[in-house]
Structure 1
């Protein structure tokens, strides 16, 4: 799942996924509230799944979204990578303090973004995720 409100960033992630060519399905949510609704819809998104979440979104911030997921017994073991344009140490540390599984800095240079997303897509395909 990609939780992202910016169309350009959604395009870059989709482009990277198409170039990757693996078996990863992508569900888009435009904000934390929509993501929670989809995740909590019984059977709508099958486990296992990995979540990529932006930090700065309208309504519920990425930090609030992560906190909500971590306190939900059915979702708390979700793998959540923050994907943000910020490379500030305080943002990175705060994301990990909210129990993000990883932090990826968005890069508008397509090849670098594809490289970052390939890492995530490979992770989805190779790592044993919570069922």
Structure 2
């Protein structure tokens, strides 16, 4: 019997703030996370990436900021939850919004988690480490 090494899952980061994008990349590096990371700066770009028909592996996990230009995170969530090909994506909200209304709306749209962006880099690295443990443990269909 031969076992193939699982290919690391591609992750889509929807984030318009360059500093936050750099922080995510830094946290991935600090945690030795080798998953390919695709970055989009708003929901419209994110949908275009998810709906493009390429040979590249489709992202299975989305890290989503709520406050973005053109199409924000909640609108993006509504859009993918209505799309049969995208509705099963695991979405983790990573945002500065601590509004109950945003949390309720996000969970009503079936997010896997809602994470407030920590102010310190150490806490951010720890949060990304926890996320990595979660998606490494989870089994996803082929």
TM-score for the superposition, normalised by structure 2: 0.85
Which one of the candidate residues 52, 57, 64 is aligned to 1:46?
A: 57
* Structure 1 residue 117: Cα displacement: 1.0
Q: Which has the higher contact order (CA 8 A, sep 6+)?
A: 1
* Structure 1 residue 47: Cα displacement: 4.2
CA displacement 1:54-95 (0-9 Å, x = unmatched): 101001110010011111111110001111102222221121
- Residue 94 of structure 1 aligns with which residue? 105
RMSD, matched Cα? 1.5
- Residue 38 of structure 2 aligns with which residue? 27
Gaps of 5+ in 2: 1-11
**In 2 relative to 1, CA 44–83 (structure 1 residues): closer, same or farther, beyond 3 Å?**
farther
8 Å contact from structure 1 (residues 52, 83) kept in 2: yes
Between Structure 1 and Structure 2, the one with more helix by share is: 1
Larger Rg: 2
What is the rounded CA distance, in whole Å, between the counterparts of 2:89 and 2:35 in structure 1? 16
TM-score for the superposition, normalised by structure 1: 0.92
**Which has the larger displacement, 25-34 or 46-55?**
46-55
Count of aligned pairs: 131
